Structure 1
């Protein structure tokens, strides 16, 4: 009896070992496949990261080239037609429009005093705009819609409107908005390609096209 029991136990033990061996082989196979798949995915991820780095570098280079092209277009347009033309030209963002100042000075002064008073007034407020301690803005809206706008209740602006009128105040306000958009930290005027017809920033394509047109016009005049 003991011999039969030992034989049965031995057979069961051998079967169990065989099953365990088969399971181990299956497990090894699965683990090998998983490791191979993980290695493939790791390689793919590295390739994607390398590709992303290359794309970021190219994007920065393209942005730098576009900015440089804009600067060259601004220089070219200035040389050809000055800061402003009837359509595409250069606008200095943050520079006060002198026309409202001239208008009000003509109403109050006469002769040579008109241009003198206008120049002094414009110079004073252009200098005031550069003062970093003067920050006549307030935040409106909430979350992603929050933005900064000129605070109409600012004392300097209220006094300016009271003393020189709404148009002069609006000229200063416009310059403030432009500075806050294009150069809030430096507070000095920034040259920008500008579409004067549509009152918006001009595209680089528009700037180049206008410059080519100006060159052709000059060539025709010379021949």
Structure 2
């Protein structure tokens, strides 16, 4: 009986041990399964992330490809624009050289005309003298008069031909001047974005009032807060005055035989301006007046002009072309 109980006890212990080991094994399996599940989730996330990264990479590549294409197109357009500007400059240079040659030829023809006029007058005077010397039987004098009359006729014909040629050259010269003016307009329109206000060659609006001197002048008369407002008001007022066609404060003075217009120092508006805001503002207004009177006296609005900033005068076409070509060469070296 004892032996049977001992066997039962051993069987229970063995069963309990097996159950414990099974439980332990089950826990280990659950733990492994959880680890595998976590790893699987991590791998799924990595795969998903890789898909996202791949899509982002593909999108980035497409965007870069589009940007690269755009840059290539922009580079081609820039190159085309640069070539057009250079061609335009070269065309204008050739046109100006041709116009100068025509002008020189015109001057030469004018000298020739004046020389012919002098010879004709001399021949007419000699003929008058010879006619007074002519006698009834003086064949020598008569022959000389005939020769001089024929020579005078030839000179007059030559003069008429030269006059017709001069008229043709005058028309051509006027056309050349018109072409030069059109060239200046084309340069102003084409180079507006390329020429800065501080560059050697700039585009200046002739007749536009310089507002620079107004603020310093107003600071001397008003408080700091009020000065800016007053400066803007004064500047706007005088720009409006410049546009009035009825205000013409000029006097005509004969200079070297040519009439020229100058500012009237005794003009009431200008005198009051000088007393109120000083010399700098007065100079700005009178400068704009002179420019307006030269460039657009009837329309009374500013006109753009190619300007030599260093020399403070209108730029010649040669100066503009040389400046642009110099800038182009510098740009090419940098590239």
TM-score under structure 1 length normalisation = 0.71
Per chain length, whose mean CA-contact separation is higher, i.e. which structure has more relative contact order (CA < 8 Å, sep 6+)? 1
**Corresponding position of 2:224:** 110
**Corresponding position of 1:213:** 326
CA 1:213/1:109 → structure 2, altered by over 3 Å: closer, same or farther? farther
* RMSD, matched Cα: 3.3
- Secondary structure of 1:197's counterpart equals coil
**Corresponding position of 1:168:** 281
Shifted more, 49-58 versus 39-48: the winner is 39-48
**Corresponding position of 1:190:** 303
Q: How many pairs does the alignment contain?
A: 198
Shift of 1:77: 2.8
| Higher share in helix | 2
Q: In the alignment, is residue 71 of structure 1 matched against residue 185 of structure 2?
A: yes
Query: Contact conserved, 1:76 with 1:211, CA < 8 A, in 2?
Result: no
1:96-135 mapped onto 2 (5 Å cutoff): 96-107=209-220, 108-111=222-225, 114-135=227-248
Shifted more, 123-132 versus 185-194: the winner is 185-194
Query: Contact conserved, 1:98 with 1:122, CA < 8 A, in 2?
Result: yes
Unmatched runs of 5 consecutive residues or more in structure 2: 1-136, 138-142
Shift of 1:183: 2.6
Larger Rg: 2
TM-score under structure 2 length normalisation = 0.50
1:1-223 mapped onto 2 (5 Å cutoff): 40=154, 43-82=157-196, 84-107=197-220, 108-111=222-225, 114-140=227-253, 144=257, 146-219=259-332, 223=335
Q: Hey, what's the Cα distance between the residues in 2 that align with 1:142 and 1:73?
A: 34
Shift of 1:98: 1.0
- Secondary structure of 2:192's counterpart equals helix
Q: Hey, what's the Cα distance between the residues in 1 that align with 2:148 and 2:265?
A: 66
Query: Contact conserved, 1:93 with 1:175, CA < 8 A, in 2?
Result: yes
Q: Hey, what's the Cα distance between the residues in 1 that align with 2:165 and 2:174?
A: 14
